[in-house]
A and B are shown apart, each in its own frame.
Chain A
Amino acid sequence: MRRAPHARRAACAVAVALAATACGGGDGGGSDTGAVLSASWGDPQNPLEPANTNEVQGGKVLDMIFRGLKRYDPRTGEAKDMVAERIETSDSQNFRVTIKDGWTFSNGEKVTARSFVDAWNYGASLKNNQRNSYFFGYIEGYDKVHPEEGGTQTADTLSGLKVVDDRTFTVRLTQKFSTFPDTLGYNAFAPLPRAFFDDHDAWVKKPVGNGPYVVDSYTRGSQMALRTREDYPGPDKAQNGGVDLKVYTDNNTAYTDLMAGNLDLADDIPAAQLKNVRNDLGDRYLNTPAGIIQTLAFPHYDRNWSTAGAEKVRKGLSMAIDREQITDTIFQRTRTPATDWTSPVLGEDGGFQEGLCGEACEYRPDEAKRLIEEGGGLPGGKVTITFNADTGSHREWVNAVCNSINNALDNERACTANPVGTFADFRNQITDRKMSGPFRAGWQMDYPLIQNFLQPLYYTDASSNDGKWSNEEFDDLVDRANRETDDARAVDLFQQAEEVVRDHMAAIPLWYQNGSAGWSERLSDVRLNPFSVPVYDQIKVS
């Protein structure tokens, strides 16, 4: 199968030589719904269980083999009903979920209310070590099945989940959370078949889901072959015959393979190739915003950063960073200077507000200098930006940010970079509150909601509030937004909360990250969803 490109090229050469006819290479040929495409992949870090997958590579597969209650529209990011027929609530705290009739897993088992309730109970239970269990934290009884460190687990199932009948179950939350139904498109909430619980080892070796693809074969660490499910009951049947996900040791090799015609789709164009990619691929290259924002977080637990003037210093630092120039020269426009704390993928209605940050996110070296002096100067006369040096070429941009700050302040030693060897060690130091200055923070959204960009990051003691920022006004606004039943008004309240983040400059927004992909002439209709994952089922192969 994989030799196909070569064979076709040879056939084309013959055809051209004989009759000078065009060969159905890229355009015009129409699509072949039986054809299989090959795509680059990375080895998933954790076993492939819905509630245990928190990185993009495993997420790709879950997205292909599972369909949840809701699904995020690949274009708009809007949460639309998929398996759910309706999700009703009268008080934003008790929800009644009715699922559609006719959904089945690829092994023939019916998708019932129990498929969801069992899966969620499994995901929440501490003894299953699921990395994403906190997603179930809003459901009543979570503290019993997932006690805080040191506590003993006193229940196996969430008391807030009740199966009513085959197609209905109810969810009771511990607090009002109006946008809860919109979070249900996340993979952690996927339903699971009985086979998962009966023979877990076998299931992990070859996962079975209810999505448009089935796993045909899976060789850990090298390849997963997915094929289109013929009896798929959903509305979004795959437009191709299947996808072969091939693990690459290096995205440069994937790009080389794409150039040589051995690979159809590479969804991570290496930074070194960004300069050539337009020449190499022309229209077959995509660079679109993803729900990822990079920021500089501050250790608000450190006395130096919690003084009365620290806000001005943070704002000054933000103004000293020339985002335009850095995204231009270092990232070749694959990142967009940030002007708020969310992401453009949310859209205006979803809460993205261009320019919310105002002049605090513009490059104003003179103002920056003045503000920092007013705020009492940099603690100890200098700042150090801490980052992990092992992945993501962070060193380059941290150096650039430092240069920019140094230039703005006319001080060669105002800012220095402090690399940490490994990501794990970096996380360690953050968790142990060892930071003494700004540090790299990145946030990839779990679901396209403004709530997800604010609450986990800035709410008091929230799971990803690495800087330990705490503000009553902010917390209060978030609480009110979560209680609000009307979506538009909830978004408005969240934006007010975001303004509090801005006024205190809790973290400096740097840029929004884009997703990129390049593909071969065989493919058309390639798109990236808001999570920067290719929408595999829509890709047409000719």
Chain B
Amino acid sequence: MGRYVVRRLLQMIPVFVGATLLIFLMVNVMGDPVAGLCGERQCDPATAARLKKEFGLDKPVWQQYLTYMGNVFTGDFGTAFNGQEVTELMSTAFPVTIRLTLIAIAFEVVVGITLGVVTGLRRGRPVDTGVLLVTLVVISVPTFVTGLLLQLLLGVKWGWIRPSVSSEAPFDELILPGLVLASVSLAYVTRLTRTSIAENRRSDYVRTAVAKGLPRHRVVVRHLLRNSLIPVVTFIGADIGFLMGGAIVTERIFNIHGVGYQLYQGILRQNTQTVVGFVTVLVLVFLVANLVVDLLYAVLDPRIRYA
């Protein structure tokens, strides 16, 4: 187990370096960011040159990358074009997105697994068919359609919620956006749990547990569910990274000033420092989430280990 962990940690280094380098190259290929800073007119060349120098854009890309990585290790993510430290932007954006992600994950775990268990135990019945149909619809409809539709119905037509989230973004205002963000993954979690439960229902240990005369809820929760959760936990773990990075659409619809918003603004204004900084942190989140999942996997099922 110890060797496995060390190997996984070492593997993270090239992935991290590669991912950040790729982002760096992609952002730089998009053209000179200073050119877009002066609106429709040409930046006056002297000011443009000074700005480039200030942001280190006059150096070759590899040198920019090295300086950048060097600074990142000291916690300096550079300065955005509007004069704000990128770390300052992060400190306002990440808490909001983390809250949103937590709500989404909670929906996936509570609603997704419950539905999965219910349908898995009643395979072929109307409940099962109904949920299967609904999940199919949820998976096939794009998130922005669901989001805009719910916003219009609940926010404008019926007035149950505020259609946009205030700048403080407290938990209660994030419930609907969290549900929208979670919707597709939620459908997958339901289907994954359902299949897993249905499969394990016929296994020997469940039959034994039933034969022992254990109460039904104990058989389901302790024996059936626990063993069926392994693939679901893997999925949810990997989903954390996706949710944080993929919140661009949801955050835009509901006016949430989180990571997705900052990334979108950064890309639109070609703000190298913001984009690279946020993506660097997201890559780290991804890697750590994956590591935790893989470790959990190995802990939960001793048969699955690196050879």
Contacts and interface: CB of A to CB of B under 8 A. Distances in A.
19 contacts: A46-B81, A47-B82, A55-B39, A129-B47, A131-B38, A133-B44, A221-B84, A248-B255, A249-B257, A252-B253, A256-B151, A256-B152, A260-B162, A260-B163, A421-B30, A427-B31, A427-B36, A427-B42, A466-B42
Given A126-B47, A250-B253, A425-B31, A456 B41 contact: yes
A143 to B, nearest CB: 10
A428 B40 contact: no
A197 B34 CA distance: 26
B51 to A, nearest CB: 6
B257 A222 contact: yes
Contacts of B246: none
Given A129-B51, A246-B167, A422-B36, A431 B159 contact: no
Contacts of A424: 30-37, 269-270
Contacts of A423: 36, 270
Count chain A CB atoms within 10 A of each CB in B37, B50, B88, B89 and give the residue with the most.
Answer: B37
B46 A223 contact: no
B90 to A, nearest CB: 12
A484 B208 CA distance: 103
Given A133-B44, A219-B167, A260-B159, 6 more contacts: A129-B54, A149-B48, A247-B167, A422-B36, A425-B35, A464-B42
A148 B84 CA distance: 28
Contact of A126 (B46, B261, B265): B46
B235 interface: no
A501 to B, nearest CB: 18
Contacts of A442: 40
9 A-B pairs with least C-beta separation: A424-B36, A425-B31, A222-B167, A427-B35, A149-B45, A47-B83, A464-B41, A428-B31, A424-B270
A233 interface: no
A149 B84 CA distance: 26
A254 B151 CA distance: 12
Nearest to A261: B159
Given A45-B81, A260-B162, A464-B42, A425 B47 contact: no
B92 interface: yes
Contacts of A126: 46-47, 50
Contact of B155 (A46, A256, A391, A466): A256
A146 B83 CA distance: 22
A206 to B, nearest CB: 14
Contacts of B268: 390-391, 422
A131 B255 CA distance: 29
Contacts of B48: 149
Nearest to A58: B82
A441 B37 CA distance: 16
A438 B43 CA distance: 21
A249 B264 contact: yes
A430 B151 CA distance: 41
Query: Number of contact residues on B: which range applies?
Result: 35 or more
Interface string B151-193: 1100110010011101100000000000000000000000000
Interface in B57-98: 81-84, 88-89, 92
Given A149-B45, A422-B270, A262 B40 contact: no
Interface string A436-466: 0000011110000000000010000001101
Nearest to A222: B167
Contacts of B30: 421-422, 424-425
Interface string A29-73: 000000000000001111100000011000000000000000000
A277 interface: no
Contacts of A150: 46
Contact of A262 (B42, B82, B163, B257): B163
Contact of B35 (A47, A260, A431): A431
Interface string A376-391: 0000000000000011
Given A44-B82, A130-B47, A248 B164 contact: yes
Interface string B192-214: 00000000000000000000000
Interface residues of A, number: 61
A257 interface: yes
A307 interface: no
Contact of A253 (B38, B45, B82, B255): B255
Nearest to A201: B83
Contacts, number: 155
A23 B276 CA distance: 53
B40 A443 contact: yes
Interface in B209-266: 251-257, 261-262, 264-265
Contact of A146 (B43, B46, B164): B46
A535 to B, nearest CB: 22
Count chain A CB atoms within 10 A of each CB in B30, B44, B89 and give the residue with the most.
Answer: B44
Interface string A250-290: 10111011011010000000000000000000000000000
B43 A131 contact: yes
Interface in A207-227: 219-223
B61 to A, nearest CB: 16
B141 interface: no
A151 interface: yes
A443 B37 CA distance: 15
Contacts of A11: none
A431 B89 CA distance: 31
B49 interface: yes
Given A221-B89, A456-B41, A463-B42, A43 B163 contact: no
Contacts of A133: 44, 47
A54 B155 contact: no
B82 A43 contact: yes
Contact of B256 (A47, A249, A427): A249
A301 interface: no
A257 B236 CA distance: 33
Interface in A483-530: none
B257 A247 contact: yes
Contacts of B256: 249
A347 interface: no
A295 to B, nearest CB: 11
A411 to B, nearest CB: 31
Contacts of B155: 256, 260
A383 to B, nearest CB: 21
Contacts of B44: 133-134, 146, 463
Interface in A286-318: none
Nearest to B51: A129
Nearest to B83: A47
Contacts of A75: none
A204 interface: yes
A253 B83 contact: no
A135 to B, nearest CB: 11
Contacts of A131: 37-38, 43, 47
A146 B46 CA distance: 8
Contacts of A25: none
Contacts of B81: 45-46
Nearest to B168: A222
Interface string A357-396: 0000000000000000000000000000000001100000
